[in-house]
A and B are shown apart, each in its own frame.
Chain A
Amino acid sequence: MGRNFSAAALVLFAPLVGAENQINMSPGVTEIGVSIFELHMLIMWICVAIGVLVFGAMFYSIYAHRKSKGHQASQFHESTKVEVAWTVVPFLILIAMAFPATSTLLDVYDNDDSELDILITGYQWKWKYEYLDASGETVSFFSNLATSQEEIYNTREKGENYLLEVDEPLVIPTHTKVRFLITANDVIHSWWVPEIAVKRDAIPGFINEAWTRVPQEGIYRGQCTELCGAYHGFMPVEVHAVSRDEFDRWMAAKRGVAAAQNALAMQTLSVDELMDQGQRVYAAACLACHGAGGEGGVGKAIAGSPIVLGDIATHMAVVANGVPGSAMQAFGAQLSAVEMAAVLTYQRNAFGNNTGDVVQPGDVTGTKNG
């Protein structure tokens, strides 16, 4: 999957990479994006025209009416006619601007039925995507920043999509009206993808909606645009628009993975499997706060932590339910049983925490069903 997309991305972003210093808004790929772009250019050119007139008059005056050239000041200071004119003319220009602005706005607020509904939830500091399916077999996953800490802290060369890449992108079909329902889990975020001209605030407790219809396959990148705490700059959005067929295949695969996870949850896994997957989960969910070596940071140290070294049930409860009033979130809803078992096992055995404890998915589901 990844290869197809990176090929598509190369083609798509070639002009951008070439012209690295983009200086204007991109019209993007959607109809709304194009009409917003046209509106933006129209208003800008009107402003430029007014600016040329106004500054032209000013610079002419600066040139021609200098005291050093011996220009004598005239003493006029009023003209009702002129003042009425420059009140009325701008007003008429504004009315002319209001027409296209209104019609574009009404398009943005279109409520026609969509074929696909996606719930987007902003978290500190990642996005969760949930495909709302009438059948109830909801596909849902988190989308984390994929850029490594080494790149951010300048110890490794930065990749092409530095800070704009995620571990699991949002996948949508082309030529399909997709409705986004946008909310947040903690503070206000804002979901923005410039190329598809969607920006909506994600507000905890309330849902907002926006829509798009992407006509062109490709990768579209964006970022959170509402200050949401320390790592506001590190929660990008990556949207992959693919053909309907490819989307269906992707969806089927996603469902398959979910089913496999459920099946795995019934089994007993080897320590290596758990440690292996645990390391991946740790990197995605824990590392930013607890450090690559479990040394701590925003969060407490994992290495030598009394909670990690202590009772398994308490450890699991902290990871699943979070610690109220601290930055430690509740991961119970974010991790599958397998992931939970894996990350607990990993934390209990990595970083010198050699407890030898193995937590199996069955133990997790057991606790959850309580």
Chain B
Amino acid sequence: MGDHHHGPAKGISRWLFTTNHKDIGTMYLWFSFAMFLLGGFFAMVIRAELFQPGMQLIEPGFFNQMTTLHGLIMVFGAIMPSFVGLANWLIPMMIGAPDMALPRMNNWSFWILPPAFLMLASTLFMEGGAPAFGWTFYAPLSTTYAAPSVTFFIFAIHILGVSSIMGSINIIATVMNMRAPGMTYMKMPLFVWTWLITAFLLVAVMPVLAGAVTMMLMDIHFGTSFFSAAGGGDPVLFQHIFWFFGHPEVYIIILPAFGVVSQIIPAFSRKPLFGYASMVYATASIAFLSFIVWAHHMYTVGMPVAGELFFMYATMLIAVPTGVKVFNWITTMWRGALSFETPMLFCIGFLVLFTLGGFTGLMLSIAPADFQYHDTYFVVAHFHYVMVAGAVFSMTAAIYYWLPKWCGRMYNESMGKTHFWISFIGFNITFFPQHFVGLAGMPRRIPDYALQFADFNMMSSIGAFIYGASQLLFLFNVIATIVAGKRVSEEKVWDGAEGLEWTVATPAPYHTFEEPPAVPRPAGTI
């Protein structure tokens, strides 16, 4: 066993050839942060153009390229890989496994990502420009009427789909086959549970996305007519296939965030998670429901009324398990001993803002009302409350929470709190007014707007610059922590933290749990 205890290799080859889950997790996290900054930069361009009515900085066609790339990069480049990175770091440590089940595949699933995004970003410099059809790439705008760069876009989607599928297979295999003796399913931490369910969703729907873009490729280059009425196809079919992928995708993004929050809130409430089993069942029911609600994104395409009713009722139902989760988190805090370190602040921010996003989601599920909301800024506000305040806030909380464990140094708490408050305020200044302009009739994806929307748009832009700037503070804080943070050495960095990852040394050694640990009390009782 002796030579198992070697440390990391030196230099660049450590990162290129590594099969260590911690190294790969680190690379995923840095890559996703880089993508977050790139996608954020595109968002700043969008908000700068929308600062005032009239075309100011960029042309309408380029504006569409910005919105498209912002969406694609944030969803596929920032949020999804960041949670895969977190899974890499934490799942083996949480279930008492020495590494991921398939370490070599793990290396591959990371290393095919940067070329895919490099290719996607390079379309900006191609003739005809980058994809400009929105991240939902509806046909025929994305087929017959697309710039030639669409082929590179399709190829990039294929690669990142393969990466996601490999990553998910690895996570499922790790959770199913690598748990330490005694770590039964109902003892697993909720983060592991939510990721297990997410990974199943990914394996089920990423191939559907691949199918959709393959059909586009065939329509564009091989003369088929999947999405063109002229040859007997149907552009609406594209939307059905896309959203059959796209709705579960929404939960793919938010379920790991639920997992993170379910770890952190108990830690800073110093009290076990309320309703562990019901959390697991609620997650599973959300995952199941996500497969039968996709057409609520398409209420205005002219579906038969029976279809509208079915998708409306099914969508409304999602409020039940989601509500259970929110109630459970709040009950976890109830009569605890609460303290408000940065991770907890971000989790409370998550709770408040995600719940607001849930409320607008419920409003959007009502088909007749959606005829007025659909494709307006109301929808933009809704999904940013869920994606940014949901996924990104919880991801930020996770970084603050586990970073001391990873690098053995404590971040600067007052800088963290400042980051939270600037983010929270900036986020709300950006997105709350978007509810108003949406209800007042401003469509989404427009580079210029009527004068009555001017004040709120300017507010939104100012908020966006504040929120964007706060991320630089975050970057600085993380780097300062890694380089020169105050050293911590106790295994349990947080007094309320529970779980196997807090039983190993701090900083976490390169190899952990080569001998399986004794599994403590069930996770439900923490």
Contact = CB atoms under 8 A, between A and B. Distances in A.
Do A and B contact each other directly (Cβ–Cβ < 8 Å)?
A: yes
Interface of A: 16, 20-26, 32, 35-36, 39-40, 43-44, 47, 50-51, 54-55, 57-58, 61-62, 65-68, 71-79, 82-83, 86-87, 90-91, 94, 97-98, 101-102, 104-109, 124, 151-154, 158, 160-164, 186-188, 190, 192, 194, 197-201, 203-206, 208-209, 222-234
B396 interface: no
A132 B335 CA distance: 68
22 contacts: A23-B435, A36-B371, A44-B363, A58-B333, A61-B334, A62-B333, A62-B338, A68-B339, A71-B337, A78-B275, A90-B323, A97-B316, A109-B308, A154-B55, A161-B450, A209-B302, A225-B300, A225-B374, A228-B141, A232-B60, A232-B64, A232-B445
B340 to A, nearest CB: 8
Contact of B336 (A26, A73, A109, A154): A73
A94 B59 CA distance: 45
A120 to B, nearest CB: 13
Contacts of A231: 60
Given A90-B319, A187-B141, A227 B369 contact: no
Given A39-B368, A54-B355, A230-B61, A22 B363 contact: no
B336 A65 contact: yes
B480 interface: no
A21 B141 CA distance: 33
A54 B64 CA distance: 39
B371 A74 contact: no
A152 B448 contact: yes
A97 to B, nearest CB: 7
A151 B54 contact: yes
Nearest to B306: A109
A98 B449 CA distance: 34
B441 A222 contact: yes
Nearest to A194: B441
Nearest to B52: A154
A186 B376 CA distance: 22
Contact of A233 (B134, B335, B366, B446): B446
Interface in B433-455: 435-436, 439-441, 443-452, 455
Interface in B350-397: 351-352, 355-356, 359, 362-363, 366-369, 371-372, 374-376
Contacts of B320: 87, 90-91, 94
A223 B316 CA distance: 28
B330 A57 contact: yes
A314 to B, nearest CB: 25
Nearest to A90: B323
Interface string B255-270: 0000000000000011
Secondary structure call for the B interface:
helix
Given A24-B436, A78-B276, A163-B449, 7 more contacts: A35-B368, A47-B363, A61-B334, A61-B335, A67-B338, A74-B271, A77-B273
B185 interface: no
B309 interface: yes
B235 A205 contact: yes
Contacts of A199: 300, 371-372, 374
Nearest to B328: A83
Contacts of A98: 312-313, 316
A164 B272 CA distance: 56
A58 B369 contact: no
Which 3 pairs from chain A and chain B are nearest by CB? Answer: A205-B229, A233-B446, A208-B302
Nearest to A228: B141
B362 A43 contact: yes
Contacts of B59: 230
Contact of B455 (A20, A54, A186): A20
B212 interface: no
A231 B61 CA distance: 7
A39 B452 contact: no
Interface string B45-59: 000000001111001
Contacts of B336: 61, 65, 71, 73-74
Contacts of B301: 201, 203, 208
B337 A67 contact: yes
A44 B441 CA distance: 17
B230 interface: yes
Given A73-B337, A187-B140, A188-B138, A229 B372 contact: no
B483 interface: no
B505 interface: no
Interface in B112-154: 132-134, 138, 140-141, 144-145
Contacts of B436: 21-24
A299 to B, nearest CB: 13
B300 A67 contact: no
A61 B140 contact: no
B403 interface: no
Contact of B327 (A54, A124, A186): A54
Contacts of A97: 316, 366
A318 B316 CA distance: 52
A218 to B, nearest CB: 15
B208 interface: no
The listed residue with most B CB atoms (<10 A of its CB), out of A16, A35, A162, A200, is A162
Given A62-B348, A86-B323, A226-B375, A78 B366 contact: no
A203 B323 contact: no
